[in-house]
Structure 1
Amino acid sequence: MKEITSPAVSSSIKKLLSYATFEEKVDEEYKKYVCLPSRKLYSMEVNEETVSCIGVEFLNSKKAVIKHIAVLPKERGKGIGSSMIRFLCKKHDIHSIFAETDKEAVNFYSKFGFQITSLGEKYPGVKRFLFEFKVK
């Protein structure tokens, strides 16, 4: 895993972030990772190809929120997402990590061990969920 700090977003990171947020918001979200000290963005490469990224916002020294997590479709199901979360928790000594997302991610987060709370229909027609994981 490597931290992404370049002022310009690469095409591979832009593509990955587009899986995790609206395409029109990618540049704005990337800028937050570069400019805000409370945010960090990491990527993982396999055979010199960037296959995943995870972006986090630190609430304090022990708590963080996953803002974006994405794995190329051809690489999904191989444990890459889980390994990125474990990396973040270990590197930054995180005790609690949170994520808010939609129904598509429930299976991934529940397999990892996150506690799930339904937030109901936060946006018209869109159910959202809050996930929390406490590191042991």
Structure 2
Amino acid sequence: MFKSINSRVDEPAIQDLLEYAVLFDPDALETAVRLYRAGDPYKLYGYEEEGAIAGIIGYRVTASQTLEITHLAVHPEQRMKGYGRALVLLALTEAGPERMEAVTDEEGAEFFRSIGFQITGFQDQASGEERFRCIYEVDENNEE
């Protein structure tokens, strides 16, 4: 079941998943927790399976109707079961944006490519690392 979990952001299980999304960076985790604790415009949803949160997606929708995925993580024991794809599709359904976008590393880019996003690589100015912008333009004619 897909459900809003902003109010649960301080729970250890939710923070464990957020840690995967921020690559175990304590400062980034603290920033993420503050974003979701504050709520609007940042939304945090989880996919609950058998009483436990299998994965999370955090996002905001901009004034230009772009859903910016800020965090996406699936518990390692639940990976390769379609939860990541389900989280992205459910966020799309929930928010109804015109476009979806994420910035990620190479592994994340492969995931987004596999579910139909267009990928563009770029050099992160702050870190010097290669990053990937993943974009999905919503086609109203193909929505279910």
TM-score, normalised by the number of residues in structure 2: 0.86
Query: What's the CA shift for 1:91?
Result: 1.2
Paired residue secondary structure (1:9): coil
Q: 1:11 aligns to what?
A: 12
Point out where structure 1 has 5 or more consecutive residues left out of the alignment.
none
**2:62 maps to 1:59:** yes
**2:116 maps to 1:109:** no
Q: Distance in 1 between matches of 2:126 and 2:64?
A: 31
Give the CA RMSD over aligned residues.
1.7
CA distance 1:75–1:7, change in 2 (3 Å)? closer
Query: What's the CA shift for 1:7?
Result: 6.6
Query: What's the CA shift for 1:49?
Result: 1.2
Q: Percent identity?
A: 29
Of 35, 53, 73, which aligns to 2:76?
Answer: 73
Alignment of 1:1-136 (within 5 A): 1-6=2-7, 9-21=10-22, 22-60=25-63, 62-124=65-127, 126-136=129-139
Query: What's the CA shift for 1:124?
Result: 4.3
Q: Distance in 2 between matches of 1:7 and 1:77?
A: 25
| More deviation, 21-30/102-111 | 21-30
The structure in which a higher percent of residues are strand is 1
Runs of 4+ residues over 3 Å off in structure 1: 121-125
Q: Distance in 2 between matches of 1:33 and 1:25?
A: 12
| More deviation, 103-112/113-122 | 113-122
Q: Distance in 2 between matches of 1:61 and 1:48?
A: 36
Point out where structure 2 has 5 or more consecutive residues left out of the alignment.
140-144
CA distance 1:135–1:109, change in 2 (3 Å)? same
Query: What's the CA shift for 1:62?
Result: 2.3
Query: What's the CA shift for 1:121?
Result: 4.7
Q: Distance in 2 between matches of 1:93 and 1:124?
A: 33
Matched length: 136
Q: Distance in 2 between matches of 1:121 and 1:88?
A: 26
